[in-house]
Amino acid sequence: MTPVSSHSPHGQSSLRTVQVLGGGNAGSSAHVRSLSSGLVARGVRVTVCAPLEADHLYDFQGAGAEHAHVPRSSDPASVAALRAACADADLVHAHGLHASFRSVLALSGRRTPLVVTWHDRAHAEGARAHLVRLLERRVVRNASVVLGTTSALVERARRTGARDARLAAVALPRPRRAAAERDDPDRLTAKARAELGATGRPLLIAVGALERHRGYDVLLDAARAWRALDPAPLVVIAGEGPLRAALQQRIEEEALPVRLLGRRDDVTDLLAAADIALLPSRWEARSVLAQEALHARVPLVATGAGGVPELVGDAAELVPYGDAHALAAAVVRLLGDPARRDLLRERGVRQAATWPTEDETVAQVLSVYDELTQPQPMI
């Protein structure tokens, strides 16, 4: 493991880092929790700046980090709170566009190195898309290093003006399952399916905020074709968002076999109970659902957009974005082909084994921190 070069007299690193989250989506929050745990174990002092609800959900303090409450970016007090939290930091590491932009503002006038990780692309249309591009340009030109979770994000950072952009090693922490679930997973799966109303019928699952870029309108179009199957699969969507009312109206008017579950904290259990996972998004980076599906040996049907092909390789059925017919047909084929489902499960296990481990993720980040904080030799 690569050590950091700044040490205390007792052999522990004296490096103090600040990790900055915005609202914190599932992928970036889980990454910061895992990263904090690994850094603390190696003697690095870590402060996580995030809203209180993020600390309650991800328990950064339980990982050994300090937590500093910094309101969401819409709160005018957030930059002042962040500036105070970064006062004696050796290095600041921000995750996501809005957290990164606030970090740039908070570090204005200081020479503290800033590392930025882009976990995903900001989704915006119209005038807001122009604003997003301006924010991206401001961030990457002020960052010491930009880490992108996919090759496309690294290339985007370089085109936007980053002086140093690299592919990030980002591990998805494996879920810690309860003892009862480890001892009798079949009983818990049957229970979950019964509670959802999927006993005796296939269960399909999608996970993510109910927003336009997630492609749920296409998923509902595809669900019309599945009504004719006997038994008809049940589609469940775990997530909340601004499109809920419109989606629910379509489900009721068209009598679609779809249930909106709202925000859930048992997605791992729901996924384990599913026959197929669905990812109909217009663009994804390192999709949390895709990673969890492959780890859980659940066949995945996804759009071949963004970083998904790079992430899953040949371990999923990939369809074009926006093509409801292709999505519906892929699901029908999989439901009727147990051998193909088994093949995807085995490929998924092999593909997941190629992804970075949590230790490798921490090692790469420590190497970057070391570059940016150790004294430069005199020439």
Q: Which pLDDT score, from 0 to 100, does residue 226 have?
A: 94
Cα 321 from Cα 305, distance rounded (Å)? 7
- 355 three-class SS: coil
Residues 211 and 72 placed together within one structural domain of the fold: no
Identify whether 7 is part of a domain: no
Residues 128 and 27 placed together within one structural domain of the fold: yes
Say which CATH number the domain at 301 has. 3.40.50.2000
Residues 249 and 368 placed together within one structural domain of the fold: no
Identify whether 8 is part of a domain: no
pLDDT digits (tens, 9 = 90+) for 292-349: 999 999 999 999 999 999 999 999 999 999 999 999 999 999 999 999 999 999 999 9
**Phi, psi angles (nearest 5°) of residue 243:** -90, 5
Residues 193 and 290 placed together within one structural domain of the fold: yes
Q: Which pLDDT score, from 0 to 100, does residue 232 have?
A: 94
* CB-based contacts of 317, cutoff 8 Å, min separation 6: 299, 300, 301, 302, 330, 333, 334, 344
Residues 166 and 243 placed together within one structural domain of the fold: no
Residues 211 and 154 placed together within one structural domain of the fold: no
Identify whether 28 is part of a domain: yes
Residues with pLDDT less than 50, the chain: 1-12, 178-180
Residues 164 and 215 placed together within one structural domain of the fold: no
Cα 33 from Cα 10, distance rounded (Å)? 26
Within 13 A of 260's CA, how many CA atoms are on the CB side?
22
Full-model pTM: 0.86
Residues 200 and 133 placed together within one structural domain of the fold: no
- 302 three-class SS: strand
Cα 231 from Cα 218, distance rounded (Å)? 22
Residues 294 and 219 placed together within one structural domain of the fold: yes
Residues 160 and 232 placed together within one structural domain of the fold: no
Q: What domain range is 84 assigned to?
A: 16-171+356-373
Structure tokens at 132: 């997003």
Domain count, the chain: 2
Residues 338 and 265 placed together within one structural domain of the fold: yes
Identify whether 38 is part of a domain: yes
